[in-house]
Amino acid sequence: MKKDIGIYLMIFCFILCNNVYPKSPLNLQKIATISGHAPGDEFGRPVKNVGDINNDGYPDLAIGYGRYPDCPDTNRTRCNRIDIYYGGDTLDIIPDLTFWDAINIWGNMDLNGDGYIDLVARYSTYFDIGMIKVFLGPENGPDTTADFTRYGEYYYHQFGREISSGDINADGYDDLVVAAPFDDIAAYGRVYVFFGGDPFDLEPDWYYQSEVEFACYGESVACGDLNADGYADFMVGSPHDLSDKPGRIYIYSGGDTLTTMPDFLYEAPNPYSYLGRKMEYVSNWNDSDYGMVLAGWIITEGYRTDVLKLSGSAVFDSLHTEIIYNNYDPYDQSFFIWFAQGYFNNDGYKDIIVSGGSGESKKMYCYLGESDLFNPDTTIALDDTNTLSFSLSNSIDLNNDKTDELIFLRRINPDDPYTRTYNIDIYSNNPFPVSNSAIDRHSDSYQPNGFTLKPNYPNPFNNSTNIHFYLPQADQIQITIYDILGGKLHC
Ligand SMILES: [Ca+2]
Ligand SMILES: [Ca+2]
Ligand SMILES: [Ca+2]
Ligand SMILES: [Ca+2]
């Protein structure tokens, strides 16, 4: 009997200890505020982590204006503008590079395989045809002169409204997925894939147009490896915004060639679900080799927002789907409208933060990995009384210390269009210095602290490849190349 009690106690303790096992805490501190230019300028649309575009080892942050009042072209009273802020051990909050008239920008991709991050930006056109420009990243630092330009095909096509990238055919070059979810006929929606290469070109290698009217196919797109076969897969959301049909997620498996037949198709169980308006690919969740897709939708009953969780696996037929209800606040209609993933505390597990609520009750639901995503580990409420309204914008490791910073958009006087102003607040679990004066981070003046060896490019390669390295001072060096078994090949 005594022994039995001991076992029960052990089991009880195991359950209890398992439940109260402390995760590494999230202790966010505000490290910087970047203010907009003028009331009503829509500062903070968009906010993007574009990757390390000036080749100094620190990821760089893009922040846009939707209605900037002081345009270089004086015929216009408002224009779009996107600024890039270079990351660093000390952050300065002075823009380093400006893309005038760009509505949105995407980075973190190398389309021509030269080891330098390339940028793709979206621009407005007459009749909302849509246009994108590609800026290949040169060795001597980024520039704002476009290398390629492409327009949409139809009026109101909104070409470039959403863009994603990944190496879909696993040839060492990132590929570009570009959506045009509307048109002037019946909003079928069309998505294009442009394979990367050297030389790169902006001629589509794959496209598909929905056969269903008002499908808005491409209102969201995402890219990533769901079945861990080394080929990035791509996903297309088709929310049927303009009809009563249920929303859909199409998944196309990456490979050496692509077909227009999806490898997996998920349709929401209810009409007016708008599944596919918003979609995120998540890598490395709970240390899994397989990717995961999260997609927001509306459950008609109660008009509440929930999330479809689609977990990757080796075989596409058996992709596992679950519906994540917001148990914390079942009537939260804004759940999953804003989203960020990254390494926010210091435990090395991928974390997810989902924002929800509205106005004064705005909350951030934090799922600090490892997590099943059904119950948040903690919630954050950043709103100040009455005048402030926060939304989560993005994450980026600005000082490259393996802890991602969280970027929030703060609106002051959000209900008054004449005085509404916007600030960007940067929070971190590991604060670092911020300077109000400009720090020169151009790559030609970059002095590395220590030895850095960059990945070779192209990779794979035939008879030659380039290997970049940085030294803190000029010195004699020796490079030795080993094969995968550790045998010395070349010196
Ligand atoms: Ca950088
Ligand atoms: Ca490149
Ligand atoms: Ca490729
Ligand atoms: Ca950091």
Ligand with smallest separation from the Cα of 116 = 2
Ligand with smallest separation from the Cα of 432 = 4
How far lies 290's CA from each of 101, 220, 258, 265, in Å?
38, 21, 21, 18
Quote the ligand 1 centre to 376 CA distance (angstroms).
33
Measured distance CA(263)–CA(310) in Å, rounded: 14
Quote the ligand 3 centre to 1 CA distance (angstroms).
66
Measured distance CA(192)–CA(87) in Å, rounded: 32
> How long a stretch of residues is the chain?
491
Q: Which pLDDT tens digit goes with each residue over 255-294?
A: 999 999 999 999 998 888 999 999 999 999 999 999 999 9
Asked if 420 and 412 count as a contact pair (C-beta separation under 8 A), the reply is: yes
Quote the ligand 1 centre to 397 CA distance (angstroms).
10
Tokens 């095909």 correspond to what residue?
153
Ligand with smallest separation from the Cα of 396 = 4
Quote the ligand 2 centre to 141 CA distance (angstroms).
11
How far lies 59's CA from each of 150, 203, 351, 366, 490, in Å?
27, 29, 19, 23, 33
Tell how strand 79-85 and strand 60-68 pair up. antiparallel
Quote the ligand 4 centre to 29 CA distance (angstroms).
12
Triad 153, 155, 158: Cα angle to 5°: 75
Which pLDDT does position 471 carry in this prediction?
A: 60
Measured distance CA(158)–CA(153) in Å, rounded: 9
Quote the ligand 1 centre to 108 CA distance (angstroms).
11
The answer to whether the Cα torsion of 42, 295, 169, 285 is positive or negative is: positive
Quote the ligand 2 centre to 450 CA distance (angstroms).
24
Which pLDDT does position 465 carry in this prediction?
A: 63
* 222-250 as b/e: b if 16+ CB within 10 A: bbbbbbeeebbbbbbbbbbbebebbbbbb
Quote the ligand 2 centre to 258 CA distance (angstroms).
23
Q: Which residues contact 371 (CB under 8 A, 6 or more apart)?
A: 286, 352, 377
Quote the ligand 1 centre to 441 CA distance (angstroms).
8
Asked if 63 and 56 count as a contact pair (C-beta separation under 8 A), the reply is: no
- Tokens standing for 168? 């879909």
Quote the ligand 2 centre to 393 CA distance (angstroms).
26
Ligand with smallest separation from the Cα of 62 = 1
Quote the ligand 3 centre to 176 CA distance (angstroms).
9
Which pLDDT does position 17 carry in this prediction?
A: 39
Quote the ligand 2 centre to 182 CA distance (angstroms).
30
List, in sequence order, the alpha helices (H) in 237-277. none
**CA neighbor of 211 nearest in space, from 172, 176, 250:** 250
Quote the ligand 4 centre to 341 CA distance (angstroms).
14
Q: Give the count of beta carbons closer than 10 Å to the beta carbon of residue 458.
A: 19
Quote the ligand 2 centre to 483 CA distance (angstroms).
26
**CA neighbor of 101 nearest in space, from 129, 132, 127:** 132
Quote the ligand 4 centre to 365 CA distance (angstroms).
21
Which pLDDT does position 99 carry in this prediction?
A: 98
How far lies 381's CA from each of 167, 267, 327, 378, 408, in Å?
38, 34, 17, 10, 12
Q: Which residues contact 314 (CB under 8 A, 6 or more apart)?
A: 227, 228, 229, 290
Ligand with smallest separation from the Cα of 458 = 2
Quote the ligand 1 centre to 423 CA distance (angstroms).
22
Asked if 394 and 344 count as a contact pair (C-beta separation under 8 A), the reply is: no
CB-hemisphere CA count at 13 Å for 60? Answer: 32
Which pLDDT does position 333 carry in this prediction?
A: 84
The answer to whether the Cα torsion of 6, 9, 10, 11 is positive or negative is: positive
**Torsion on CA atoms 11, 12, 17, 18, rounded to nearest 10:** 60
CA-based radius of gyration for the chain: 24
Q: Which pLDDT tens digit goes with each residue over 38-96?
A: 999 999 999 999 999 999 999 999 999 999 999 998 889 999 999 999 999 999 999 99
How far lies 338's CA from each of 28, 164, 280, 412, in Å?
18, 17, 11, 18
**CA neighbor of 278 nearest in space, from 195, 366, 216:** 216
**CA neighbor of 78 nearest in space, from 59, 95, 53, 103:** 103
**CA neighbor of 91 nearest in space, from 442, 426, 467:** 426
Measured distance CA(114)–CA(112) in Å, rounded: 6
Ligand with smallest separation from the Cα of 174 = 3
**CA neighbor of 238 nearest in space, from 225, 257, 251, 254:** 251
Quote the ligand 3 centre to 254 CA distance (angstroms).
9
Print pLDDT tens along the chain (491 aa): 444 554 444 444 444 434 445 678 899 999 999 999 999 999 999 999 999 999 999 999 999 999 999 999 888 999 999 999 999 999 999 999 999 999 999 999 999 999 999 999 999 999 999 999 999 999 888 899 999 999 999 999 999 999 999 999 999 999 999 999 999 889 999 999 999 999 999 999 999 999 999 999 999 999 999 999 999 999 999 999 889 899 999 999 999 999 999 999 999 988 889 999 999 999 999 999 999 999 999 877 777 888 999 999 999 988 999 999 888 888 888 899 899 999 999 899 999 999 987 655 678 999 998 898 999 999 988 766 555 678 899 999 999 999 999 999 988 877 777 788 999 999 999 999 998 887 776 544 444 455 656 556 555 555 566 565 556 566 777 777 777 667 776 66
Quote the ligand 4 centre to 435 CA distance (angstroms).
16
